């Protein structure tokens, strides 16, 4: 049951990660005004031999294919002249078919392989890039948007590289080949066919372009249909209480009718494309019949040449028929690439300074000197909707001139109302936000002068939101280092008062949680998140209001144990509960970003200020809550 957590093979990863980061595509600054399509070229360039090799193979295949009608001509001519030797023509056809098969299948494979490779590289590049970003980036590009870019836009780019490029080059080429073969067979007949071509091209281009636009409309119609149903079902109770069913059904009839009509229009366009192609090709055939028929009768053309012409017509028309589709594939691929580069060009806002030196050892002294922090107003009003107001308040000053020295080994509680700047203070220490130079110090060194990796590995922050990953519970606790032993996990779980919970699950540490696993309660999640921070045993521990869903009794229990666990090491705990704060050596009360009060529990109680007010209100509330619980219990009996 208790199988040990297997260590992850860590050595392989950094190489690949470094490679991906190093080989980042040239950014916008280095190539000003470059079109997104041009910026794709270096990506393909890494696989250029494969790409061009594939293209050449496909083109060769087309040459072989275009050669075929000449052997058909030979066959037909021998039939009409009663030449019994049919081996050369069919040998030619079969031979060409074989080499064509080989070259086309390998060619297609190679070109599409490049599409796969570029997608593969791009995925990792995006992933690595996301991991470097800070709150501003995620405020500007919400998760849903980034997902859409990583899925849809990448797909468009891949289609462009793997299929779009091939169609343009190859179909254009085969049209040209067919045309030149036709020229060599009969100049006048080819020239006679030239006037028909613009019609075929025009119809093919315009209709197939419209088909693509209509198909986007159909897709949009589908999603608005789904949305309408979803909204409607969400409000079904209101609809039923107000007897609005009939009206909503009528509206749905409209939406679904419009969708069907849009779809129908799409089908109409499809049918039109087919019909026009058949008609125009028919006209070209009639021209061949008229001229060729007479020429054969006059013996200026052989019947085989006549047949070959009809076959070439098919080869020449095919690329034209698909031209609109190719154009739209390019347009879409180009806009997808643009959206990808927009994200990739975003410079990480929080980076290591160029001359960082790790400290040999961190004691855990923290100092703030005249620290002020204002959240930058960088987001547009449109984007602001998607932003967690805790991470980015728009242009709001969060801290004003905060100065404080925290000794190594001290426990400090930070108390204040919502929005008083408590979380901001903690985030600045671990550089989830960047402080101004010379305002935040660790062991006397400006935090900006230390490598980010060291700061974050020596200072553990347990965030307010207990985000757990959809993985086993034990692996969530040993999140920072999967090679930790099970004993260490249990110790951390015990410190966070989670062992009892874990023991209640049949799979214990191996219990899968989140998404489709066991759903933990808010308090259990917070305790798991706490265990995840405690297991790291860092010189500095920052707890950002991580007891809000834990009941007071359990909290007391955890905090009293934490005292001995963390003795001699620095701990900062943010809370809005007095019961949490009283455990600390000193208590810092923040009010609207200013330091309002600072002192021990006893000192502040005596002072009779904000802290004392909180204590009184919260004490009364606790009593009332207990009363209520008792009374409910009585009713239940």
Partner 1 sequence: MSAAGAVQQPRRLRGAFDDDIYGKSLDVGQVLRLLHWMKPYRWLAYSALVMVVLSAVFAVLAPAVLGRVLVDDIVLHQQGSAFADLGQKHLNAWIVGRFHIDPIVAAGIQYMTWVLLAAAFGRGFGLTFSRAVLNTLRDLRCDLFNHLEHLPSSFYDRVAVGRVMTRVANDVETLFELFAGFGQLAGQFVPFFVAITIMFSLSTTLTLEIFPVLPIVAVCTWAFRRVSRPLYRSIRMTVSRLNENLQENLSGMEVVQLYGREQINFARYSAINNDNRINENKALSVESFYGPLIDGMSFLVLSIIIWFGGHLVFAHMMTVGSVFLFTQFTDMLFRPIVAMGEQWNIVFRAMASGERIFQALDWKEALSVPANPTPLPADLKGKVDIRHLTFSYNPDHLILKDISFTIHPGERIAIVGPTGSGKTSLIRLLCRFYDVDPGEIFLDDVDIMQVDPADIRRRIGVVLQDFHIFSGTVYDNIALGDPAITREAAEAAAILVNADPFIRALPMGYDTPLSERGRNLSHGQRQLLAFARVLAMNPEVLVLDEATASIDTETERVIQDALRKLTHGRTSIIIAHRLQTIKDAHRIVVLSEGRVREIGTHDELIARGGMYRTLYELQFQEMQAG
Q: Rule CB under 8 A: which of 349-378 touch partner 1? A: none
Is residue 226 a contact point for partner 1 (CB under 8 A)? yes
From the list 60, 123, 338, 386, which residue makes contact with partner 1 (rule: CB under 8 A)?
123
Footprint of partner 1 on 282-301 (CB under 8 A): 282-283, 285-286, 289-290, 293-294, 296-297
**Minimal CA–CA distance to 44: which of 119, 106, 156?**
119
From the list 97, 183, 187, 397, which residue makes contact with partner 1 (rule: CB under 8 A)?
97
Nearest-approach distance from CB 2 to partner 1, in angstroms = 15
How many Å apart are CA 419 and CA 410, to the nearest integer? Answer: 25
Quote the DSSP letter at residue 449.
G
Footprint of partner 1 on 10-29 (CB under 8 A): 10, 12-14, 16-17
Number of Cβ within a 10 Å radius of residue 18:
11
Helix ranges (DSSP H) in 394-472: 422-429, 452-458
Quote the DSSP letter at residue 34.
-
From the list 24, 183, 187, 236, which residue makes contact with partner 1 (rule: CB under 8 A)?
236
How many Å apart are CA 486 and CA 174, to the nearest integer? Answer: 65
Nearest-approach distance from CB 333 to partner 1, in angstroms = 18
529, 479 contact by CB (below 8 A) = no
Nearest-approach distance from CB 130 to partner 1, in angstroms = 6
Minimum CB distance to partner 1 smaller for 235 or for 444: 235
Footprint of partner 1 on 554-613 (CB under 8 A): none
Helix, strand, coil in percent for the chain, rounding step 5: 65, 10, 25
Is residue 41 a contact point for partner 1 (CB under 8 A)? no
Minimum CB distance to partner 1 smaller for 17 or for 34: 17
From the list 43, 55, 59, 72, which residue makes contact with partner 1 (rule: CB under 8 A)?
72
**Minimal CA–CA distance to 461: which of 557, 573, 551?**
573
- Per-residue b or e along 178-189, where b marks 16 or more CB atoms closer than 10 Å to that residue's CB: bbebbeebbeeb
470, 517 contact by CB (below 8 A) = yes
DSSP helix/strand/coil, 368: strand
CA 413, 415, 416: angle at the middle one, nearest 5? 165
Footprint of partner 1 on 261-280 (CB under 8 A): 263-264, 267-268, 270-272, 274-276, 278-279
From the list 45, 257, 395, 438, which residue makes contact with partner 1 (rule: CB under 8 A)?
257
Nearest-approach distance from CB 55 to partner 1, in angstroms = 14
Minimum CB distance to partner 1 smaller for 126 or for 491: 126
Footprint of partner 1 on 469-488 (CB under 8 A): 469-472, 475, 479-480, 482
114, 44 contact by CB (below 8 A) = yes
Minimum CB distance to partner 1 smaller for 34 or for 99: 99
What would the x/- binding string for partner 1 be over residues 132 to 171, using CB under 8 A?
-x----x----x--xx--xx--------------------
How many Å apart are CA 506 and CA 524, to the nearest integer? Answer: 16
Nearest-approach distance from CB 636 to partner 1, in angstroms = 5
Is residue 128 a contact point for partner 1 (CB under 8 A)? yes
CA atoms within 13 A on the CB side of 69: 24
Number of Cβ within a 10 Å radius of residue 553:
10
Nearest-approach distance from CB 243 to partner 1, in angstroms = 6
Is residue 515 a contact point for partner 1 (CB under 8 A)? yes
Task: Give residue for tokens 């040209």.
Answer: 176
Number of residues that bind partner 1 (CB under 8 A): 152
Is residue 397 a contact point for partner 1 (CB under 8 A)? no
Nearest-approach distance from CB 82 to partner 1, in angstroms = 7
Quote the DSSP letter at residue 5.
P
- The residues near 85 (Cβ < 8 Å, ≥ 6 apart) are 78
Point out which span in 41-49, 116-124, 199-207, 370-378 binds partner 1 (CB under 8 A): 116-124
């Amino acid at each position: 049951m208790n199988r040990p957590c297997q260590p992850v093979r860590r050595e392989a990863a950094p190489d690949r990660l470094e490679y991906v980061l190093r080989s980042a595509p040239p950014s916008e600054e280095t190539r000003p005004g470059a079109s997104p399509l041009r910026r794709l070229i270096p990506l393909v360039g890494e696989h250029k031999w494969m790409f061009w090799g594939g293209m050449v193979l496909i083109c060769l295949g087309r040459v072989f294919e275009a050669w075929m009608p000449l052997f058909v001509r030979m066959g037909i001519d021998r039939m009409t002249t009663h030449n019994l030797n049919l081996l050369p023509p069919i040998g030619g056809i079969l031979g060409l078919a074989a080499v064509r098969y080989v070259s086309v299948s390998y060619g297609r494979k190679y070109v599409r392989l490049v599409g796969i490779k570029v997608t593969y590289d791009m995925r990792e590049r995006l992933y690595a890039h996301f991991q470097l970003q800070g709150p501003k980036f995620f405020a500007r590009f919400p998760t849903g948007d980034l997902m859409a870019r990583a899925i849809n836009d990448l797909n468009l780019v891949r289609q462009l590289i793997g299929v779009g490029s091939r169609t343009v080059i190859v179909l254009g080429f085969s049209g040209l080949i067919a045309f030149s073969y036709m020229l060599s067979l009969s100049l006048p007949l080819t020239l006679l066919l030239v006037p028909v071509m613009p019609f075929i091209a025009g119809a093919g281009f315009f209709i197939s372009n419209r088909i693509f636009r209509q198909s986007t409309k159909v897709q949009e119609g589908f999603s608005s249909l789904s949305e309408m149903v979803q909204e409607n079902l969400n409000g079904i109770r209101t609809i039923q209480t107000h007897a609005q069913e009939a009206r909503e059904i009528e509206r749905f009839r409209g939406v679904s009718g419009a969708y069907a009509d849009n779809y129908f229009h799409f089908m109409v366009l499809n049918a039109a494309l087919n019909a026009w192609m058949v008609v125009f090709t028919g006209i070209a055939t009639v021209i061949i019949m008229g001229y060729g028929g007479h020429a054969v009768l006059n013996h200026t053309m052989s019947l085989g040449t006549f047949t070959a012409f009809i076959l070439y017509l098919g080869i020449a028309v095919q690329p034209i028929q698909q031209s609109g589709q190719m154009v739209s594939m390019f347009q879409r691929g180009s806009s997808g690439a643009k959206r990808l580069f927009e994200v990739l060009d975003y410079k990480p806002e929080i980076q290591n300074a160029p001359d960082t030196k790790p400290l040999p050892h961190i004691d855990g002294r923290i100092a703030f000197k005249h620290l002020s922090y204002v959240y930058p107003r960088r987001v547009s009003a449109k984007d602001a909707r998607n932003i967690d107001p805790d991470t980015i308040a728009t242009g709001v000053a969060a801290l004003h001139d905060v100065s404080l020295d925290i000794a190594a080994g001290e426990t400090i509680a930070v108390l204040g109302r919502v929005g008083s700047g408590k979380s901001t203070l903690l985030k600045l220490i671990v550089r989830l936000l960047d402080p101004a130079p010379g305002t935040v110090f660790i062991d006397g060194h400006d935090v900006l002068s230390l490598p980010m990796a060291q700061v974050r590995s020596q200072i553990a922050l347990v965030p307010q939101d207990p985000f757990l990953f959809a993985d086993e519970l034990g692996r969530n606790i040993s999140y920072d280092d999967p090679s930790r032993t099970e004993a260490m996990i249990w110790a951390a779980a015990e410190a966070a008062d989670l062992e009892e919970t874990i023991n209640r699950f049949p799979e214990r540490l191996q219990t899968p949680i989140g998404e489709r696993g066991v759903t933990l309660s808010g308090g259990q999640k917070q305790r798991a998140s706490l265990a995840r921070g405690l297991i790291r045993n860092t010189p500095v521990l920052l707890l950002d209001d991580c007891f809000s869903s834990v009941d007071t009794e359990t909290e007391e229990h955890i905090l009293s144990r934490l005292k001995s666990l963390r003795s001699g090491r620095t701990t900062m705990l943010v809370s809005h509960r007095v019961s949490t704060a009283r455990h600390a050596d000193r208590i810092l009360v923040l009010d609207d970003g200013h330091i309002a009060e600072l002192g021990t529990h006893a000192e502040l109680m005596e002072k009779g200020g904000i802290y004392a007010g909180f204590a009184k209100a919260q004490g009364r509330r606790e009593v009332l809550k207990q009363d209520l619980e008792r009374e409910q219990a009585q009713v239940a009996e």
